[in-house]
Amino acid sequence: MEWTSGAGRRIVLREGDITRVAVDAVVNAANAALAGGGGVDGAIHRAAGPAIMRELDAIRRQIGRCPTGGAVATSAGNLPAKYIFHAVGPVYRDGRHGEPDLLAACYRQCLRMAEERQVGTISFPAISTGVYGYPLEEAAAIALREVKAHLEQPHTTVQQVILVLFGREAYEVYAACLKG
Ligand code: AR6
């Protein structure tokens, strides 16, 4: 399923494994320690190779932890991409502890980093909706709102955003949200 902005920029929903989707930048759902983990983080590190963790080690030596709502960039190793943006989503408690703003900040930060690097295509997983417990419907609304707002700006290098959903259920939730 797709959505197209007035200027012809596209949001594409895909079901599957984000490590197999060729883009300029792939977003990872990381943790504040940038230490790797399970879920999409584990899949990305396995597919990209050990050089990525060495880059994150160097970043950690410089900045310590990455704040929730933020992201850091590495190269993409063996992935079909140029960059990985490691975004730290919020752990969901009840939605009244700043979670919506922090999740929105992740998307905005990654899109800003994409502009800085002249990225044309970027893929996102459904950040925070796995181990971090963010309800899919609420996360989908935030992700789509932020991505649409970005693509509707007059000047952007990003022409295509691919939202990669793991499993049919997640895909259907995003598709329903995109249909409005
Ligand atoms: N491709 C696309 N999406 C995936 C894939 C994949 N290969 N694998 C899982 N997902 P999660 P979080 C989906 O738990 O909630 C890690 O341990 C998954 O179905 O990966 O942000 C980190 O190190 C879900 O919809 O990330 C952190 O400690 C979405 O990706 C913590 O988990 C996010 O699920 C971050 O938790």
Rounded to 5 degrees, φ, ψ at 60 are -60, -35
pLDDT at 61: 97
Residues with CB under 6 A from ligand 1: 17-19, 29-31, 37-41, 43, 89, 125-132, 164, 166, 170
Q: Whose CA is nearest to atom 21 of ligand 1?
A: 128
**Percent helix, strand and coil across the chain, each to the nearest 5:** 40, 20, 40
**In terms of DSSP bridges, do strands 71-75 and 83-88 run parallel, antiparallel, or are they unpaired?**
antiparallel
Q: How many domains does the chain have?
A: 1
99-125 pLDDT, tens digit per residue, is 999 999 999 999 999 999 999 999 999
Contacts of 75 (CB under 8 A, 6+ apart): 51, 52, 55, 82, 83, 84
Tokens representing residue 117 in the block: 């690097």
Give bridge partners of residue 152 from the DSSP assignment: none
> How many angstroms separate the alpha carbon of residue 39 from the centre of ligand 1?
4
Domain holding 35, by residue range, is 2-179
Query: For residue 89, how many other CB atoms are within 10 A of its CB?
Result: 28
Residues of the chain with pLDDT under 70: none
CATH classification of the domain holding 157: 3.40.220.10
Name the pTM for this structure. Answer: 0.98
